[in-house]
Structures are given as structure tokens and as C-alpha cells.
Amino acid sequence: MVCANTLILSNILLMKKFIKNYFAFTRRESIGVSVLLLIISILILYLMLSNNGTKLIPTDYSEFEEDINLFESQIKLKNTVKISENNNIEPYPTDTTTLFNFNPNTIDSSTWLKLGFLPKQVKSIFNYKRKGGKFYSKKDVQKMYSIDSVMYKKIEPYIQIPNREYKTISHYENKKKESNNTTQFHKKTNPLNLNKADSSELNTLKGIGPVLAARIIKHRNELGGYINKSQLSEIYGLKPEVITQIESFVYIDHLFSPNKININTATYEMLKKHPYINHTLANAIVSYRQQHGDYKKVEDVRKIHLVTAELYSKIAHYIRTE
């Protein structure tokens, strides 16, 4: 019995010694822990005091104001507009829609929706306007990617633009005078015709060197000509700020008509060379033609499931049936 008690006591003493050795700190370790706790306490105190004295900077939501208005307009019109099979707002004014005169430069997002436009089409229009784009004539409205020929024909009689003058040389010169006189954006007095300017002329634009000038011309040739200055954003390496900087010094002749591909005679190889038609779509266009006969009108390509409304708004200006 004595041996058993001795053994138990011995084990207890060993356990105490183990615990003391495991959890005990040396004098140096104790000082280190104390210093660390002091630093943490000072940091917490500093953060608390600095937060109390911080002046919060209000967030500027002006960039998203039109998107917010568009969203609110969608909600208001939810019960009054037509809903398609895909739960999208009917993209075109129907025969029963009451159209009205409007100025595309001044109407808000809710008015565009009332005219029968999709929200994504309205967003595209305001992105164009946000970058400085403006409608100087009905033809400018027609050239928008988001507005195809069917839609344009229905709204064209109702478009009212007080000043139908196109951008002239004097307009560009006035815009230049209004800009910061301390910054020289352009070396030329006259604006450049984007569909005729050669490499040396394009080089005179601020931010455009030989490489970008060559790419602008190459993309122009592949497209069949520019119908909108926003197409410059499709060029690799051409930054948005450079486009904004030069767009007042280039223009597109309102009488210009791009080269168009005949979708009833063009081969697969010819079609796929166009920037807006990849090899899959080129094959689908040819296959549909072989199965159903010639296309009667440009709008017939919309029967191909690959051709979305957005894609059609791009390629419609570059294809023909005759």
C-alpha cells in the first residue's frame, strides 16, 4: 500500500514538473510577450482614434446614374411593355405601339424603352453618348450597332433633330478652341476622313504612330469601311483615352456606303474573312443558303440561331442579297 501511494505521489510530482516546464516562460520570453502585447494595444488605440477623426469621402455615382435610371425605368414599364418568349422586352415597336416624335440627343432611358428598345440597346446608345457621341442626322441614328434596319424604318419618321448639319471643318475647329489650349492634341487644322485617310495623315493624330495607323487602315479594309467612330475601339492596342482624344479630329462622310458582301454568292472563305463573321457563322450562312435557297432579304440571316440581335446590328451594314 505504501509503495502504491509513493508511486502515485511520484507520478503527480512528475506531472507538475512537466506542466511547469511546458508552460513556463523564461525572463527573456516574458519581456518579448509583454512588448508584443503593448504594440498590439497601441495599434488598436491608434485605429480607434483615427477612425473617429476620419472624414469619409462620398462616393461619386454619377457614372452609373444613367444605368440606375434605366433599371428604374425597366421596373416601371414591366407591366406595360410586351414580353417575348425569352422574357426580354419586345425589341421592336409593334403595330399597336403608339410612336411619337423624339430627339435622340435629349431623351432619357425610359423614353428609349417606351419606343420599344431592349435595355441592352439603350445601354449601348448611352455608352456611345457618354464617350461624346452625338446624333447630327437621322443617318447617324441608323449607323448605331444596336439599331438594325427593321427598327430604324419604324422610328425614322419620328426622329426630330433640330440641327441636321453634319460635322464640318468649322465645327471641329470650334471644338478644338474649346479644349485645353495648353495641350496640343492634333497637328492638323482640318479633320480627317476616317475612310480615306492614309497612314501619313493618321500619324498626325496625337497618340497614333505608324503601327496603330497601319492597324486602323487594316481594320478599315477588312470591315469594308467604318460606319461609326466607335468601331475604333475594336482595334488592338488603341486605348479608349486615345480614341476620346482623337475622335474630334476624324469624321465619317454621311454619304459613305461600306463595301457589302453578297450572302447569296459569297463562299465560306470569303465570309469568314470579315471581322464580324467567324468561321462558325460563315459555315452556318452557307449551310442555310444551301438548305433553304437564296436569302430574299438581309433580315433573313436572323433565322440563323447564331445571329443574335447584337450581332445582327453589326453585320447588317456589311451584307447584301443582290
Report the pLDDT averaged over residues 67-92.
53
CATH code of the domain occupying 261-320: 1.10.150.310
Could you give the percent of the chain with pLDDT greater than 70?
69
The answer, yes or no, to whether residue 220 has pLDDT greater than 90, is: yes
Whether residue 115 contacts residue 155, with contact meaning beta carbons closer than 8 Å, is answered with yes
Q: Are 132 and 244 in contact (CB under 8 A)?
A: yes
Where does CATH 1.10.150.320 sit in the chain? 184-251
Q: What pLDDT sits at residue 84? A: 43
Question: Class assignment of domain 184-251?
Answer: mainly alpha
Q: What is the pLDDT of residue 217?
A: 94
The predicted pLDDT at position 165 comes to 44
How many Cα neighbours within 13 Å face the side chain of 101? 3
Confidence of residue 169 (pLDDT cuts 50, 70, 90): very low
CA distance linking residue 253 with residue 193, whole number of Å: 7
pLDDT digits (tens, 9 = 90+) for 308-317: 999 999 999 9
C-alpha Rg value of the chain to the nearest Å: 34
d(CA 233, CA 297): 30
More confident residue, 278 or 167: 278
List every span in the chain annotated with CATH 1.10.150.310.
261-320
Decide if 315 contacts 292 (C-beta within 8 A). Answer: no
pLDDT of residue 297: 92
Compare 219 and 54 and report the one with higher pLDDT.
Answer: 219
**In this model, does residue 17 exceed pLDDT 90?**
no
Average pLDDT of the chain is 77
Give the separation between CA 244 and CA 206, rounded to whole angstroms.
11
Asked if residues 97 and 116 have their Cβ atoms less than 8 Å apart, the reply is yes
Please check the confidence at residue 214 and state whether its pLDDT lies above 80.
yes
Min mean pLDDT across 28-37, 173-182, 197-206, 291-300 is at 173-182
